[in-house]
Structures are given as C-alpha cells and as structure tokens.
Amino acid sequence: MTLTSYRLEEAVDGLKLQEVQNKFSEATGLAAIIAERDGSAITRPSHFSRLCRMIRSTQLGREECYKSDAQVGIMAAETGKTSMHYCHSGLIDLAAPLMVNGACWGSILCGQVLLSKPGKEELGHAVWRAKKLGLNTEEYVDAFREIEVVPENRVRAAAELLQMVANYIVEMGVSRLFQQKLVEEIRTRAEMEQALRSLELKALQSQVNPHFLFNTLNAATRLALFENAPRTQELVHALARLLRYSLRNIDQMIPLREEIDHVRNYLLIQKVRYQDHIQISIEADEEILGFLIPAMTLQPLVENAIVHGLEPKEENGLLSIVAFADGEEMVVMIRDTGVGMENSLVNRVLNEGGSGFGHTTGLGIRNVNGRLQHYFGKQYGLSISSTVTEGTEVTVRLPRLSTSQTERV
C-alpha cells in the first residue's frame, strides 16, 4: 500500500502544526509557514514581515511566493537536508524537508531575513520589484529596510529545531493515516470475501444438475421447432446461453463483446415479458469490443434499470447502453427513462447496497462496484446520477485492458 498520493494536510493535525509553528515564530522572531510538496501552504503564516504581506496581497506576488517556496522545498527534499536560498524578493528563506520513510511530504519554510544590511543595489532591486507588482514604491522600500539582519548559523539552527518537532508530528500523522487505510483495505477485502462466499453458495445451489437443465432446454428447443414456434425456440436458445454464461467463474475477465452478448440474451427474454413497455438501444464502438471486463458486470446493472426503473413506470420507457473509449479508459453508460431515485437513495445503493438490487444474479450494484475497484483501483468503478420521474444513468469506468495485460489484474 502506498501513501505517496496523499497530501500532507490529509495526514497531519493542522491545528497542532499551526500551534507549534506559532510558538516557534514567537520564540525566534522568524517568519514561518509549512507547505505541501508543491509549495502551497497548509498553515497560516506566522510572524510574516510587512514586506511579505504586501507582496502576497497581489496575485502575481502570491504566485511567485508559491514558486519560490516550491523551489527551495524541492531542493530540501532532494538533499534531505535544510536548504537556503534567496527568494524572488531578495530575502533569505530556508526550507527543511518533512521526511517519512525516505519520502518527502512537504517542507517547513522560515526566514524572511537578510544576512547583511541592504546596500544601494539591493534597494534598487526593491524599487524595481515594487513597480513590477504594482505596489507603492516608497512603502515597499520602507518595508524592505525593516527586514531583520540575522546571522546564518542562527537561522539554520532555528529551522532545524522546528523541523525536529514538526517531523515528529508528521510521522505520527502518516502512521495514523497508514493504519486507517490498512483497516479500510482489510474491511473491503473481508466484505469482498463474504460476497464471493455468498455467490459461491448461490452458484452451488444453481448447479445441482446443470446437464439436466441443458438437456431439458435442448428438448424444449426441438419441441418448439417441431411445433413451428420460432419465437419460443429463440427464447429457449437465449435462456440456455444465459444460463451457460451465468455458470462461469465471475472472476474471469472476458471481452466486452461477450458481456454485451450476454446482456442481449437477457434483454431478449425480458422483451417477451414487457413487450412494447420497454424499448432497447445498444451502441458500442467496435474498437473496444475486444477489451476485457469482469464477467457479470453489466447484466446486474441492466436488470436493476428494468426492475427498479422502468417496470414501476406506467408509461413506456427506453433502456440504452452506450460503450465507448475515453483515452486509456473504457466507459459503458446504462441509461433508463424510468422513475428515477432521490439522491439519498443513490448514495445508499452505491455505498451500502440495497435489498432487492441485483436480485437475480445475487450481484448488487455495490458488489459490482466493489469488484471493479478491487480489480482496478478506487479511481475506477461505478457512478450514478438520477432524477426522480426522469430516469437514472449508471456509468461504468474501467481501464482499457487487453488479453496480454490480464496479469495486472
């Protein structure tokens, strides 16, 4: 499990860091701020000079400050040590990296001082910077003259002291975040295992004698042929294909083409039941039909759209399935013009599951979403949007995965 994708503000107690930073500035007289890896601040500035407050009051000034903070922060992260540089306004800034297990989570920036009294050249640069930022030149130069002159060794020692305290807080926060994510992973894995055990039991119950079922269906097909009942023959064929597909291992990755064919068989059977009450549209880009999808992903979603969306509606409705490529991802959208859902129910269905959702397969919407995220990561899975009386749209998003890449899953 990697935590490098998280930001510092997600791992630490910001109030505790702010308190430590404030006490540091009060004791040393140095300005300080704690920033993310990209230079953006996560604490409020402590003891910032009048000059720096003036600079940051402008859009351009703030942007240059963030760039400068990020630059010295990167220097500190690369060396793993306190780094010093002149910021864009000519002041001395130091950055101490906040390191946990060799990874940099952010940096402490302090300083806003000078190592020696400014001369004519430095004051000339101050005038130029004031004009560039659109600030009052006289006030800017006066604020620049107010900057404290401090020996370098004192500034470095102060920065290292703050780093020691803050790093301890960050280590505690990252450890707590790691434990939290580990507990979440264990809980998710346990839920997945429970769902799979339940599905295995259902599959066992449905496979009491599959040969008997298929032999019976074959006999029914021949009987329909002899009785010249082509629609009945087609229906029985579709049911046989549906059952054969349903008996396969749900952990199997199959081409999208096969998954859509399975949905077509399911819809053919439902069409006999609902007649003109439900119109069906399926569109899929040819280029993605060979890409892989976990078996039994789409049919529970289609069933949910019919049973809970279109069936309760008095008027005729439309069920549409659209599949297309989106960069390196594959998207399948299942829309119905059914009764729709309140937002509270949408959240419950996706996050908690719901009684009756996906009842034929035993694969509820939440379980489908959990399977996809288990295979591909949290950035993939299902999203649902719905409007009461207008309908529901379920979007399936997953990576474009070919047969040669299945070892990644």
DSSP-derived letter for residue 41 is B
3-state secondary structure of 248: coil
Task: Quick: pLDDT tens for 139-189.
Answer: 999 999 999 898 888 888 887 887 787 777 788 778 877 787 778 778 877
- Residue 388 to residue 294: CA distance in whole angstroms: 30
- Residue 68 to residue 129: CA distance in whole angstroms: 15
pLDDT given for residue 362 in this prediction = 39
Least confident of 76-90, 272-286, 341-355: 341-355
pLDDT given for residue 53 in this prediction = 92
Percent of all residues in the chain with a pLDDT value above 90, rounded to a whole number: 31
On the CB side of 198, CA atoms within 13 Å amount to: 12
Which pTM does this prediction carry?
0.48
Average pLDDT, the chain: 82
Measured between its terminal Cα atoms, the distance across the chain in Å is 16
How, if at all, do strands 381-387 and 391-399 pair? antiparallel
pLDDT given for residue 317 in this prediction = 93
Q: Which of 242, 308, 252, 249 is nearest to 272 (CA)?
A: 242
Least confident of 53-67, 79-93, 389-403: 79-93
- Residue 271 to residue 268: CA distance in whole angstroms: 5
Q: How confident is the model at residue 249 (pLDDT cuts 50, 70, 90)?
A: low
Task: Quick: pLDDT tens for 306-348.
Answer: 999 999 998 999 999 999 999 999 999 999 999 999 888 888 8
pLDDT given for residue 356 in this prediction = 45
Q: How confident is the model at residue 301 (pLDDT cuts 50, 70, 90)?
A: very high
Least confident of 17-21, 250-254, 403-407: 403-407
Q: How confident is the model at residue 283 (pLDDT cuts 50, 70, 90)?
A: very high
Percent of all residues in the chain with a pLDDT value above 70, rounded to a whole number: 83
pLDDT given for residue 394 in this prediction = 96
Domains and CATH numbers, the chain: 8-182 (3.30.450), 277-408 (3.30.565.10)
Q: How confident is the model at residue 259 (pLDDT cuts 50, 70, 90)?
A: very high
pLDDT given for residue 360 in this prediction = 46
What is the 3 state secondary structure string of 364-393?
A: CHHHHHHHHHHHHCCCCEEEEEEECCCEEE
Task: Quick: pLDDT tens for 204-232.
Answer: 555 445 555 555 566 666 666 666 667 67
Q: Which of 99, 130, 98 is nearest to 20 (CA)?
A: 98
Higher pLDDT, 367 or 353: 367
Mean pLDDT highest for which of 79-88, 104-113, 118-127, 331-340? 331-340
CA distances from 34 to 38, 62, 193, 200 (A): 11, 15, 42, 52
Q: Is 60 exceeded by the pLDDT of residue 3? A: no
Which element (helix H / strand E) includes 3? Answer: none
